[in-house]
Structure 1
Amino acid sequence: MIRIAIRWLIAFVLLAATFNPTDYNWVRWSLTNFGEQLPMIVLSGLILLIGYIIFLRATLRSIGAFGMFLVLAVVAALLWVLYDYGWLSLENQNLNQWLAIVALSFVLGVGLSWSHIRRSISGQTDMDDVDE
């Protein structure tokens, strides 16, 4: 369970570092400092891109595009239930952006951890997991 939480947290940090409603994110920093810090913007952008490639490739290999859609649909349905029962208000645009970051990080975290989740549920291992 700790491995899954760590993978989700890394996905959350990756997404939040790229964009979030505060002024502390790569998109706003790069737009503000484009003229003065272009080499650092390119370097940090490539590092973020590598993180996205790792997460997206692993997620697509483990659960596929349809699985990503299903996980996102479950998260969206959960938010709908919370909104329908009045436990969640969607008036705050910053909160909506954070909810989107959490939802997308959950999809990436589940995708990266799917082999561990499936193994704990079913007791079966993947061919990739034989070494563990």
Structure 2
Amino acid sequence: MGFMLRWAAAFVLLALTFNPTEWNYVTWGRANVSSQMPLVLLLGLLLMVGYIIYLRATLRSIGGIGMGLVLAIVGTLIWVLYDYRIVTFDDTAVNIWLALVSLSLVLGIGLSWSHVRRKLSGQADMDDVDA
């Protein structure tokens, strides 16, 4: 259940930033930057905090190579689904949603990896702390 919540939070973060509907930060921000600049800036900074939390945790747990590997696995899974004609790339909106799911899986796995490693190995990851 923990992984699903972390993945869902990553998906919401990405979808709030951009999605193929009109209900996203990028579209709203472009339309309102001149009339509501402080609010656009505030919401952009809040989204940035979310990205920093997710990206920092993901880079610390699986690193850049791990992120690339997870993305390659998800991309290959999409390729297999395309090859078996389960998924098509004809609709741009579907392609964007697939990209959002793929990127959110990378962030969700990255945020959850320490928990998985602890359960598999019995060892907890610890940050370097000055005593």
TM range (shorter): over 0.9
Residue 35 of structure 2 is matched in structure 1 by 36
1:69 Cα deviation after fit: 0.1
1:116 Cα deviation after fit: 1.2
Cα deviation 1:32-79 (Å, max 9, x = unaligned): 011111000000000000000000000000000000000000000000
| Structure 1 residue matching 2:30: 3-state secondary structure | helix
Q: Which amino acid aligns with 1:8?
A: W
1:119 Cα deviation after fit: 2.6
Q: Which amino acid aligns with 2:80?
A: V
Residue 67 of structure 1 is matched in structure 2 by 66
1:114 Cα deviation after fit: 0.2
Cα deviation 1:99-122 (Å, max 9, x = unaligned): 0000000000000000112233x2
TM-score of the superposed pair, with normalisation by structure 1: 0.93
Q: Which stretches of structure 1, 4 residues or longer, exceed 6 Å deviation after superposition? A: none
Structure 1 gap segments, 5+ residues each: none
- Structure 1: distance between partners of 2:23 and 2:67: 28
Structure 2 gap segments, 5+ residues each: none
- Structure 2: distance between partners of 1:48 and 1:79: 28
Check the 8 A contact 2:10/2:104 in 1, yes or no: yes
Q: Give aligned pairs, total.
A: 127
- Structure 2: distance between partners of 1:85 and 1:105: 24
Check the 8 A contact 2:10/2:107 in 1, yes or no: yes
Call closer, same or farther: CA 1:76–1:82 in 2, change over 3 Å.
same
| Structure 1 residue matching 2:126: 3-state secondary structure | helix
